Amino acid sequence: MRTRRRALLVLLLDLSIIWFSIVTSYLFRFDGQIPEHYFNQMIIYSVISSVISAATLLYFRLYSRLWQYASIEEILAIIAAVLSSWGISLVCMMLLFGERIPLSISMRTVETMLLCIGGTRFGWRLINRYRIKKHQKRKALIFGAGDCGVLIAKEIMNNPNSDLNIVGFIDDDIAKYRKRVFGISVLGNRDVIEQAVLETKAEEIIIAIPSAGNHSITDIINICKKTPAKVKIIPGLSDLISGKVSVTSIRDVDVEDLLGREPVRPDLDGIASYVSGKTVIVTGAGGSIGSELSRQIASFKPDKLLLLGHGENSIYSIEMELRFNYPQLALETIIADIQDRQRIDEVFRVFKPHVVFHAAAHKHVPLMERNPAEAVKNNVFGSKNVADAADKYGVDRFVLISSDKAVNPSSIMGATKRIAEMYIQSLDKTSKTKFAAVRFGNVLGSRGSVIPRFREQIASGGPVTVTHPDMVRYFMTIPEAVQLVIQAGAFAEGGEVFVLDMGAPVRILNLAEDVIRLSGFDPYKDIDIEFTGMREGEKLFEELLLSEEDIKKTKHDRIFIGQPLVINRGELELQFKRLDRAIGENAQVVREVIEYIVPLYKHVS
């Protein structure tokens, strides 16, 4: 009702403009003294023009447009409507009344109509923009004066609910320097970001260059981090292509953006050759890595995907997600504990999987230091149960998800992962199954990892706790790690330990500072950082290879092979019996047996 009332008021305003245009045209033509004949002609012409103009203005939908977003299309619609009504009115005057309108009057009439009808609408747009700007509180810079940046700026400027005021563009294209977009200056390239924030008092920087590479984005973010402005970003080129770019696409810069890694380019044919049309089982399918493995494997259309896990809630969650996203996928959910040898044997006997991704594990380092027997039961004997079942039932390929903590381990968790690697390498020598392990570092955002903990501490007002100022770790994103794990599986010939390129190690203190800044606070000023000391089982830096493991390249530039070591299967089985007996004794006995099996293990208290 309100919209119709507004449209009616605008229509009445347009009719008033038509009468005003015609009357003033006659007054100008006859210097204010209109002869009687032409006065009658003026009245008839005004009535005819009013009726026809109303029809043409409605036909060109001038009353169903949002004029605060008016652009070239709206200008063309106004011109088309006014010229049509003008021409039709002149023809009607000649055919119906035999009257010829003087050329000077008709030309002045159409000029005034165009000026006033267009002017009222664009005047409203200017008033609306001023009104919006008047109430805005936060100033923002947009990095990128290309298509994406212009789209975002236009939407922000025309959105009455936006609380941003665009005060400048930044762009690396020197040809755009000092040019203006929507009346807003391009202030310079990335080198002027700090100065621009200082001069414009911008509180926000929006990075709107979705076609830029990850390294370039990271460089820009690192410059923006030096300013007090909050940094936001447009996700990616795919959104621009699909037309999804809008204010709602803008998100906060995340820690993942700071890694600056280019997307993984998987060999899709190689992966499809061993996953598509096969029965694939993922253990630990409810965990961070296991659930992402399940998502990515589902996209390769396996014949059947088996989700095995101990926690019913997490398995239910990933099941519902996959059933929604892949309704045609044959999916089986299996609640089982990998420590239950009989149950695992039953699962393999019934479903006969072709490919196994073994992601189930206890991974929390300090927790496993306090519960070494549980780490052994799950990471060693649980892995042994799954590997033995894979061997017994003729699985084609078995991929163990390992850890950089298995290299020269200082923790129970790392040592048990190394024993699991040793066992599958020994089993590979006699099995038809191709056994391989994939070793990588920390993944951002996984349960129990440092980033969620930092965010919780920031949300509660701090302080953020870091164990040691010199602590460094390798990091990658969960999807990135899983893509490389699946890819490594395609390269497996048996017995390899694949090592993923983790990029440069990240200092945990720097990571904590970045998370605080990206949350909109200043480290040490708004949120303090405290050092708590190294925890049990931790070391300052992690390694990805043992000194005895020669590294070789694969066909993928981010996957390497650590050459298999000679493992004495008989000796290993003997030590497993010792380990099994030690579980019933105290923690120190368990550690002593582990140190015998993994001589490089040194317990750090």
The string of DSSP codes covering 312-361 is HHHHHHHHHHHHHH-TT--EEEEE--TT-HHHHHHHHHHH--SEEEE---
Partners of 475 in the beta sheet?
A: 442
How large is the average pLDDT for residues 552-562? 72
How large is the average pLDDT for residues 409-433? 91
| CA separation for the pair 482, 198 (Å, rounded) | 42
Is residue 502 within 8 Å of 544, Cβ to Cβ?
Answer: yes
Is residue 573 within 8 Å of 374, Cβ to Cβ?
Answer: no
The pLDDT of residue 255 is 66
Question: Does the pLDDT of residue 446 top 80, yes or no?
Answer: no
Split at pLDDT 50, 70, 90, the class of 565 is low
pLDDT in tens, 298-338: 999 999 999 999 989 999 999 999 999 999 999 999 999 99
| CA separation for the pair 214, 223 (Å, rounded) | 14
How large is the average pLDDT for residues 444-458? 75
Of the candidates 158, 168, 169, the residue with the CA atom closest to the CA atom of residue 131: 158
Question: Does the pLDDT of residue 283 top 90, yes or no?
Answer: yes
| CA separation for the pair 222, 285 (Å, rounded) | 36
- Which tops the pLDDT comparison, 353 or 244? 353
Q: What is the CATH superfamily name and number for domain 269-447+475-503+537-597?
A: NAD(P)-binding Rossmann-like Domain (3.40.50.720)
Where exactly does CATH 3.40.50.720 map onto the chain? Answer: 136-253, 269-447+475-503+537-597
Predicted model pTM: 0.67
Beta 559-562 vs 551-553: how paired, if at all?
antiparallel
- Which tops the pLDDT comparison, 569 or 529? 529
Residue 105 backbone class (left: φ over 0; alpha: ψ -120 to 50; beta: rest): alpha
pLDDT in tens, 163-201: 788 889 999 888 888 888 888 888 989 999 999 999 888
The pLDDT of residue 263 is 56
Question: Does the pLDDT of residue 89 top 50, yes or no?
Answer: yes
Out of 233-237, 295-299, 377-381, 455-459, least confident range:
233-237
The pLDDT of residue 602 is 61
268 token code pair = 């899709």
Question: Does the pLDDT of residue 261 top 70, yes or no?
Answer: no
Domain covering 136-253, topology: Rossmann fold (3.40.50)
| CA separation for the pair 572, 57 (Å, rounded) | 88
The pLDDT of residue 524 is 87
The pLDDT of residue 604 is 46
pLDDT in tens, 99-158: 888 888 888 888 888 888 777 777 766 666 665 554 556 888 999 888 888 888 888 877
Element holding 472 (H helix, E strand):
strand 472-473
412 token code pair = 């129970």
- Mean pLDDT across the chain, nearest whole number? 82
Of the candidates 234, 204, 228, the residue with the CA atom closest to the CA atom of residue 138: 204
Split at pLDDT 50, 70, 90, the class of 219 is confident
| CA separation for the pair 280, 486 (Å, rounded) | 12
Residues contacting residue 326 through CB under 8 Å, at least 6 positions apart:
298, 299
Split at pLDDT 50, 70, 90, the class of 417 is very high
Nearest-10 Cα torsion for 519, 520, 526, 528: 30
- Which tops the pLDDT comparison, 261 or 421? 421
| CA separation for the pair 405, 410 (Å, rounded) | 8
The pLDDT of residue 547 is 45
Please state, for a pLDDT cut of 70, what percent of the chain lies above it: 82
Q: State the residue for tokens 């004949």.
A: 37
The secondary structure of residue 527, as a DSSP letter, is B
